[in-house]
Amino acid sequence: MRIHVLQLIVGDKLLSDSYNHVGLHLLSAGTIVDVSDIRMLNRHNIEYVDIAPRLTEEPVQVPAARQAQLNSFHDAIEGIKEIFRSAEQGSSLSNEFIESAFNPLVESFEEEKDVVSLLLSLNSQDDYTFQHSVQVGMLSFYIAKWMNKSCQEALYIGKTGYLHDIGKCRISRDILDKPGKLTNDEYSEIQKHTIYGYDIIRKTLQDDTLATVALQHHERMDGNGYPLRKKSTEIHSYSRIVSVADVYSAMISNRVYQEKRDLLFVLKELHRMSFGQLDPKITQVFIRHMIPNFIGKKVSLSDGRAGTIVMTNPSDFFRPLININHEFVDLSQLSGVEITSIAV
């Protein structure tokens, strides 16, 4: 029978080989899966597997709350696909349709406290652009809530994140999916997605703020972003929120030209970017709320060892205390050893 990876239990037997999106062989047919196998499948974004029928008469179900989250996540992806198709064809966008696709997503995840587990468990084999749009919408909503915005304002900010890349519907797939380095002309073209998005939203939704975020989400605080090289407070506050969500989502995702990085490494990179590129206050809010979520997560280290994060390090958030075979290892005291992957 074919089931979602989240429905797997220890002892299930695989009926077919499992491969990731680049064709790497993960598990062979006949494997009796254990906890580490299930985590690996999840880490490689495998969604469904074929297993032998279970002896128990009672099918194992995904908890109702998690299933609702999965459903709303995939509905939001299908929604953004339709929005892109409409924009590409020159049709007017519908606020009602956008909100019917995005709002249930927020309602499903609004009470979720562990955003790290959420990001680790909710993955899709869909086109990067679509999954990225959903992630940026979700993360923008969370950041706004963490900044004590009202529910209504946070929902609207999430919507700006959901639509931020709509201009990519006018960029050639050959450029968007190119695995190698872009030429100068190709890079100049892909930068135009911000202008295209601004134009699409202004003409079809008549919403200047949504359009502005689509235009500005690649601007940087030091003035070295694009398309207008705006800086600091010249950049709309919502654009600065979406920029943080955009960078984080991009770096934790597999793209045609870049392997995803682990979530903790990316937080460290955001911290670096907060000194000039990203809004420092917004970035610090994001990091401060994400870091506690890593306690209890399983990690693999660059030296081949594996363990569990038990405490964040107050002097270095990004090099925590790890329990390895009942021994505590302080990464802040081990230069040269890095976390290479994190799992629930």
Q: Known catalytic residues?
A: 168
Give CA–CA dist 23/37, Å, rounded: 17
Euclidean distance between CA atoms 242 and 140, whole angstroms = 6
Spatial CA neighbour of 204 closest among 58, 50, 95 = 95
Cα diameter, the chain: 63
CA atoms within 13 A on the CB side of 334: 16
Taking CB atoms within 8 Å and a gap of at least 24, the contacts of 310-318 are 317/267, 317/268, 317/271, 317/287, 317/291, 318/264, 318/265, 318/267, 318/268, 318/271
Q: 263 is written with which tokens? A: 């979530």
Q: Cα-flanking dihedrals φ and ψ of residue 343, to 5°?
A: -135, 160
Cα–Cα distance measured from residue 178 to residue 194, given in angstroms and rounded to the nearest whole number: 19
Q: Tokens at residue 192, please?
A: 């135009």
Q: Which long-range contacts (CB under 8 A, 24 or more apart) does 265-273 make?
A: 265/318, 265/338, 265/339, 267/291, 267/317, 267/318, 268/317, 268/318, 270/244, 271/317, 271/318, 273/247
The tokens describing 256, both together, are 């045609």
Per-position b or e across 187-226, b if 16+ CB within 10 A of its CB: eebbebbbbbbbbbbbebbebeebbbbbbbbbbbbeeebb
The helix or strand, by DSSP H or E, that contains position 155, with its residue range, turns out to be helix 151-162
d(CA 278, CA 331): 27
